[in-house]
């Protein structure tokens, strides 16, 4: 009969390198305490790496860089899937995703309709802030980011160059998604986003 270590390791090795796991992914193999101890042992052996409390990864390796750490986006998305929650990047993170800022924030903030929590990744941190459904109702990936990025920049602070960059990004958005998301934004942001709508030609 396979030991708990073997069962957990077999499941982990079936996943591609870089995959993330939570302690609760293995609770069908044993108690929470036993699973935690096993994951600790596998970490010491180098079979897995500990990302944060209760979060582990099957390490991915690069010939030059060595072990690759999971990105904050990958970790946030793994938590989103686990919690069956919606998340939305905010602030400098949204600006960076759109090319409005070259700054890569060490502490990233996501709005969520799941549990509010902070994930400590050592030098990096992910903060999930509980938010109203309206703030998470955007259906366009780009238009949702635009709303959050413009909120970060602030009314009256948006430069013409930033507006042009935003409109260029919004060209990639599916039109019906853009039209839907414009209705969710404050009026000053709607005025900017409407410029990306293609004029409807008469039949």
pLDDT digits (tens, 9 = 90+) for 61-90: 888 888 888 999 999 999 999 999 999 999
Size of the chain, expressed as the number of residues it contains: 203
Q: What CATH number should be reported for the domain whose range is 4-68?
A: 1.10.10
Is 201's pLDDT higher than 90?
Answer: no
pLDDT for 203? 44
Domain ranges for the chain, please list them.
4-68, 86-194
Inter-axis angle of helices 141-153 and 175-182, to 10 degrees? Answer: 40
pLDDT of residue 188: 97
The answer to whether residues 189 and 150 touch, using CB atoms and an 8 Å cutoff, is yes
Query: pLDDT tens-digit profile of 95-143?
Result: 999 999 988 888 999 999 999 999 999 888 999 999 998 899 999 999 9
Query: Which structure tokens are listed for 193?
Result: 């986003």
Q: Quote the CA–CA distance of 149 and 114 in Å, as a whole number.
A: 22
pLDDT band with cut points at 50, 70 and 90 for residue 196: very high
Predicted pLDDT at 200 = 54
């Amino acid at each position: 009969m396979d030991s708990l270590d073997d069962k957990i390791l077999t499941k982990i090795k079936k996943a591609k390198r870089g995959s993330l796991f939570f302690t609760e992914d293995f609770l069908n193999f044993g108690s929470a305490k036993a699973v935690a101890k096993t994951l600790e042992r596998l970490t010491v052996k180098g079979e897995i790496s500990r990302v944060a409390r209760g979060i582990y990864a099957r390490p991915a390796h690069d010939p030059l860089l060595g072990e690759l750490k999971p990105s904050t986006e990958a970790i946030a998305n793994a938590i989103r899937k686990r919690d069956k929650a919606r998340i939305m990047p905010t602030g400098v993170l949204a600006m960076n995703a759109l090319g409005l800022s070259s700054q890569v924030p060490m502490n990233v903030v996501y709005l969520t309709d799941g549990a509010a929590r902070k994930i400590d990744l050592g030098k990096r941190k992910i903060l999930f802030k509980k938010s109203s459904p309206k703030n998470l109702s955007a259906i366009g990936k780009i238009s949702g980011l635009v709303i959050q990025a413009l909120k970060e920049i602030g009314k009256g602070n948006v430069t013409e160059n930033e507006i042009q960059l935003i409109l260029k990004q919004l060209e990639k958005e599916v039109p019906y998604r853009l039209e839907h998301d414009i209705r969710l934004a404050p009026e000053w942001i709607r005025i900017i986003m409407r410029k990306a709508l293609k004029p409807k030609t008469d039949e």
